[in-house]
Structure 1
Amino acid sequence: MKRRSDSSTPVKPTPSAERRSSAPENQPSSSGDHRPSSFTLWKLLLAELNTSKDDQPSKSQSSDSDDPSVNSELLVNFVKLPVHLEKFMCFGLVYCLIVFLKQITVVPLRSALHSYNLIRSSFTNNKTFKYYSTRTKNDFVSMILIISSLMLLKNLDSSKIYHNIRAGTAVKLYFMVGVLEIADRLLSAVGQDILKVVYFVPIFPTTELKTPMKFLAITAVSVCYLTLHSYVLAYQVMALNVAINSYSNALLTLILSNQFAELKSSVFKRSEREGLFQVSCADLNERFQMLVMLFIISSRNLFQVYTNTTSTGLFDNLKPHSWYSQMTFSTTLNNWIGLLMGPMFTVIGSEVLVDWLKHSYITKFNRIKPTIYGKYVRVFATDYVNSFRSNLTALDEYPEMLLKRTGLPVLTLSIVFIKMCMYPWVKHFLHNETTERLSFLGLLLLLLIFSLITVVRLVLSLGLLRWSNKILRSQQTKQDFVRGDPNVTLTDVKEQRTQLYEAYEKVPPSLEELRLKKGERLDSVVRFDMVDKRIW
């Protein structure tokens, strides 16, 4: 039997109906007759022309994204960001340079000193020397890895690689650059895990490790990894060298277009503080590697010009074979600038411009203030001060925290730098062509250059230490975000989010509310760990 509904009984409205009925309370009353059903063509024309007498301005609900003060703050932050980003990059580049020069200068000196003390203690039966200290073992491991990888790279012919790349088409070069970049990131991620293991495996037999076979096995794996990664970086250097030394700028355009491709993959994505920190560390790593590669290319071009012009007159008949040399120069000095510095300015300038655009739009879309980079610098300053203190107490951390945060393959870069940049000059100055013997004058010159680089590294270390202490003593910013939710999707607007849920449903907290409740996790951010939507 069907139940009849009594027409006299009032029907209880649903929660959604209550919400819809209560929504237009703030709208103008029926006296103004602004309802769409009461409009005629004449009234609509008067309303559009703003000539209606009874038309009164009404206060419309606006979100934070429509607030002029918020929009002006976003524009000001958009302009201020390059300054804050470059402060972070300058601090990070100096830090990376110190760690890089440590592998070339300090580690060989300490290894030689440890070897001398070990030999002296073995002959004098002096047990005071701790030959199995952590620093000694790690220095020996670093030198073993570098020397073994250099021996495997003995047959690396950079000239053959250069001409093989140059013989290919522009499309082949563009495809190869993309493949090499992906291979570099994959090998860097694996290499961090390999080096973490090799630095903690004991060399000599212990109670847990009866034989050193485990150390030999992981060392062999590490040498194979470093050799493979060195080949990848060598091909990257030669591909960039081909693009720079080509008469046409078409190849260089392909290299630069690869940098601008980063904008599409990173700008239109939601990111938080930790994710932006990882992006910044990845960009720092990329910029430092690019600077090292360009320095290697400039050094090789300088060596080639020096060896070709020594017999005909020093730099008199210089004709740089580069697209940049087609410009008109009046002096030999300008020719040198065009040969060595012109392509470097072009490549680095495009890299800096892409970083500015990428970080500006990431911070704009996610409503992050540019002062957040000050916190990133503070994290780096804390890492450097801790590393400096551990260095004084002979308890160096291997690998250093900077390598974990940025993913910088410092051992691979050192191997490629020694093989492609230092080895040609050392061989040229040490080999006396007239007597076919060791040149003592060249040896003194190399020792002088080595001492100068060591002094530069020490000066940079002290300067960065003072800079770090100044940063840590400064006052830290408290607010990292602009007021409002990131206006990336439609559901982030408060007025529209309430219409997507019924009255009995609990509206989930907005992104702004989550950000206020969420604490910082910047100290735990490293390069190849997932802290955001993706690993950069």
Structure 2
Amino acid sequence: MADDPNYLFSVGKSPMKYFMEEMFSGNSLRSTTTLGNEKERERVYDTIFRLPWRCELLIDVGFFVCFDSFLSLLTIMPARVLMTFWRLLNARQFKRPSAAELSDFGCFIIMACGVILLERTDISLIYHMIRGQGTIKLYVVYNVLEIFDKLCQSFNPDVLQTLFNSADGLANSQPENMSFWIWRYIYDQGLALAASIVHSFILLAQAITLSTCIVAHNNALLALLVSNNFAEIKSNVFKRYSKDNIHSLVYFDSVERFHISAFVLFVLAQNILEAEGPWFESFLFNALLVYFCEMVIDIIKHSFIAKFNDIKPIAYSEFLEDLCKQTLNLQTEDAKKNLTFVPLAPACVVIRVLTPVYAALIPCNPLPWRLFWIFLLSAIT
């Protein structure tokens, strides 16, 4: 140690001399930090200002794309199915349905069966079973359901693509191969039906769990939001992502935002039917709290993911451009960059929830007035 020049230098320096050197040697944190440059300054402002609003804009646009697909399923698809049946009934000879008509028919069967099964589900029983759990158990239940929801989001589009492929094959098959394609279409229809029904029950259970937390008076909602959202940050922020992975992650957040809207609608319907006393202010506060927490967590998550992976804010503008091209049915270079959303399961849950609300609020008037109230309530909800 005596031969070490640094050791001799440190021994030979007096405390006063060391103190004076520290006083006049510049930045006091120079030993643990480095001098920044213009690039580092840009990264700071990208993380705080430029990226959050672009990210939120992209998620919101993705939400409305999902909402458009959801409304199309509830309005355009049934009308197309009715037109197809009307054409088949009025035709003098049988005409093979097209691939689009077979696809619409398959989706209609899935949605109808899902609604029928959910109608037979006792929501009150599930609600009281979940309500009897503690706050920690509610957090565990919600996270387990969320994991299965994401698995279904990843699996169900592939199943539906398989069904559409079989519909296309059946519509364009030769007469000698007709039997093969019919059975293939039936098998794929059954698989898509099972997958969609499972997803519907998962979403219904999630909605009931969130409703339980909102109705509870022991800060269960706040505990659920804090634990769930910070677990999401922990599981996503400190990982390496490519640009394509971040692109897919934003779309997952858009779909999640739409599912949360369906859950909030479920809570609203339950309050309309069962709540006593003034409840709307409490519901509105809790709903805004859920949306605010989700928005803040998504912004924090994407800001730091972009920071750690050196993703510029302009990338989110490129993602938005790709989403606009998808919405306008313009061909993109990579189909994997498209927003994939299957609204069948959320549609089943929403129909199951709104049916008793319509039954309770539509007055017992003649048919024209009933139709008027149906259209009015449909426009409101």
Fold conserved between structures, TM > 0.5: yes
Residue in structure 2 matched with residue 319 of structure 1 by the alignment? 278
Residue in structure 2 matched with residue 398 of structure 1 by the alignment? none
Other structure's SS at 2:311 match: coil
Residue in structure 1 matched with residue 324 of structure 2 by the alignment? 381
Residue in structure 1 matched with residue 81 of structure 2 by the alignment? 111
2:38 maps to 1:69: yes
Report the Cα distance in structure 1 between the residues aligned to 2:8 and 2:261, rounded to whole angstroms: 70
Other structure's SS at 2:239 match: coil
Report the Cα distance in structure 2 between the residues aligned to 1:56 and 1:341, rounded to whole angstroms: 57
Range with bigger deviation, 97-106 or 109-118 = 109-118
Deviation for aligned residue 1:354: 0.9
Residue in structure 2 matched with residue 258 of structure 1 by the alignment? 228
Range with bigger deviation, 206-215 or 111-120 = 206-215
Equivalent pair of 1:267/1:358 in contact (CA under 8 Å): yes
Report the Cα distance in structure 2 between the residues aligned to 1:424 and 1:254, rounded to whole angstroms: 28
Residue in structure 2 matched with residue 158 of structure 1 by the alignment? 123
Instruction: Map Cα deviations across residues 48-97 of structure 1 (whole Å, 9 max, x no partner).
Output: 35669xx999xxxxxxx743322211111122221111121221111111
2:69 maps to 1:99: yes
Instruction: Map Cα deviations across residues 183-234 of structure 1 (whole Å, 9 max, x no partner).
Output: 1122222212211111121357943332522222221222122111111111
Q: Gapped runs of 5+ residues in structure 1?
A: 1-34, 58-64, 309-317, 321-335, 390-400, 457-536
Structure 1 length normalisation: TM-score?
Answer: 0.61
Q: Gapped runs of 5+ residues in structure 2?
A: 27-33
Equivalent pair of 1:363/1:369 in contact (CA under 8 Å): yes
Other structure's SS at 1:247 match: coil
1:368 to 311, 320, 325: 311
2:299 maps to 1:356: yes
Equivalent pair of 1:78/1:364 in contact (CA under 8 Å): yes
1:416 to 327, 341, 349: 349
Report the Cα distance in structure 2 between the residues aligned to 1:378 and 1:348, rounded to whole angstroms: 25
Deviation for aligned residue 1:117: 2.0
Deviation for aligned residue 1:319: 3.2
Deviation for aligned residue 1:429: 5.2
Deviation for aligned residue 1:39: 3.3
Report the Cα distance in structure 1 between the residues aligned to 2:61 and 2:253, rounded to whole angstroms: 13
2:290 maps to 1:347: yes
Equivalent pair of 2:138/2:209 in contact (CA under 8 Å): yes
Q: Which amino acid aligns with 2:311?
A: I
Residue in structure 2 matched with residue 249 of structure 1 by the alignment? 219
In structure 2, relative to structure 1, the CA distance for the partners of 1:215 and 1:431 (3 Å cut) is farther
Residue in structure 1 matched with residue 57 of structure 2 by the alignment? 87
In structure 2, relative to structure 1, the CA distance for the partners of 1:447 and 1:115 (3 Å cut) is farther
What is the percent sequence identity of the aligned residues?
A: 25
Instruction: Map Cα deviations across residues 224-265 of structure 1 (whole Å, 9 max, x no partner).
Output: 221111111110000000000112213541243112111111
Report the Cα distance in structure 2 between the residues aligned to 1:247 and 1:429, rounded to whole angstroms: 28
Report the Cα distance in structure 2 between the residues aligned to 1:370 and 1:252, rounded to whole angstroms: 31
Other structure's SS at 2:121 match: coil
Report the Cα distance in structure 2 between the residues aligned to 1:431 and 1:266, rounded to whole angstroms: 50
In structure 2, relative to structure 1, the CA distance for the partners of 1:441 and 1:38 (3 Å cut) is same
Deviation for aligned residue 1:426: 3.3
Report the Cα distance in structure 1 between the residues aligned to 2:25 and 2:128, rounded to whole angstroms: 77
Residue in structure 2 matched with residue 191 of structure 1 by the alignment? 156
- Within 5 Å, which residues of 2 pair with 1:455-466? none
1:142 to 107, 126, 129: 107
Equivalent pair of 1:233/1:416 in contact (CA under 8 Å): yes
2:251 maps to 1:281: yes
Q: Which amino acid aligns with 2:356?
A: P
- Within 5 Å, which residues of 2 pair with 1:283-302? 283-302=253-272
Report the Cα distance in structure 2 between the residues aligned to 1:345 and 1:92, rounded to whole angstroms: 20
In structure 2, relative to structure 1, the CA distance for the partners of 1:363 and 1:204 (3 Å cut) is closer
Report the Cα distance in structure 1 between the residues aligned to 2:206 and 2:137, rounded to whole angstroms: 13
Report the Cα distance in structure 2 between the residues aligned to 1:429 and 1:264, rounded to whole angstroms: 44
In structure 2, relative to structure 1, the CA distance for the partners of 1:319 and 1:267 (3 Å cut) is same
Equivalent pair of 1:93/1:284 in contact (CA under 8 Å): yes
Other structure's SS at 1:238 match: helix
Q: Which amino acid aligns with 1:414?
A: A
2:219 maps to 1:238: no
Other structure's SS at 1:209 match: helix
Other structure's SS at 2:165 match: coil
Q: Which amino acid aligns with 1:369?
A: K
Other structure's SS at 1:199 match: helix
Other structure's SS at 1:201 match: helix
Residue in structure 1 matched with residue 31 of structure 2 by the alignment? none
Range with bigger deviation, 295-304 or 352-361 = 295-304
In structure 2, relative to structure 1, the CA distance for the partners of 1:204 and 1:269 (3 Å cut) is closer
2:171 maps to 1:214: no
Equivalent pair of 1:162/1:238 in contact (CA under 8 Å): yes
In structure 2, relative to structure 1, the CA distance for the partners of 1:112 and 1:87 (3 Å cut) is same
Deviation for aligned residue 1:446: 1.1
In structure 2, relative to structure 1, the CA distance for the partners of 1:106 and 1:209 (3 Å cut) is same
Equivalent pair of 1:118/1:131 in contact (CA under 8 Å): no
Deviation for aligned residue 1:113: 1.9
Deviation for aligned residue 1:300: 2.5
2:370 maps to 1:442: yes
Deviation for aligned residue 1:275: 2.0
Other structure's SS at 2:373 match: helix
Structure 2 length normalisation: TM-score?
Answer: 0.84
Q: Larger helix proportion, structure 1 or 2?
A: 2
1:425 to 333, 354, 357: 357
Report the Cα distance in structure 2 between the residues aligned to 1:204 and 1:51, rounded to whole angstroms: 85
Q: Which amino acid aligns with 1:273?
A: K
Instruction: Map Cα deviations across residues 407-433 of structure 1 (whole Å, 9 max, x no partner).
Output: 53311111111112x21133335684x
Q: What is the root-mean-square deviation in Å for CA atoms of aligned residues?
A: 3.2
Equivalent pair of 1:429/1:439 in contact (CA under 8 Å): no
- Within 5 Å, which residues of 2 pair with 1:513-528? none
Report the Cα distance in structure 2 between the residues aligned to 1:254 and 1:51, rounded to whole angstroms: 53
Q: Which amino acid aligns with 2:360?
A: H
- Looking at both structures, which has the greater relative contact order when contacts are Cα pairs under 8 Å and sequence separation is at least 6? 2
Report the Cα distance in structure 1 between the residues aligned to 2:301 and 2:10, rounded to whole angstroms: 50
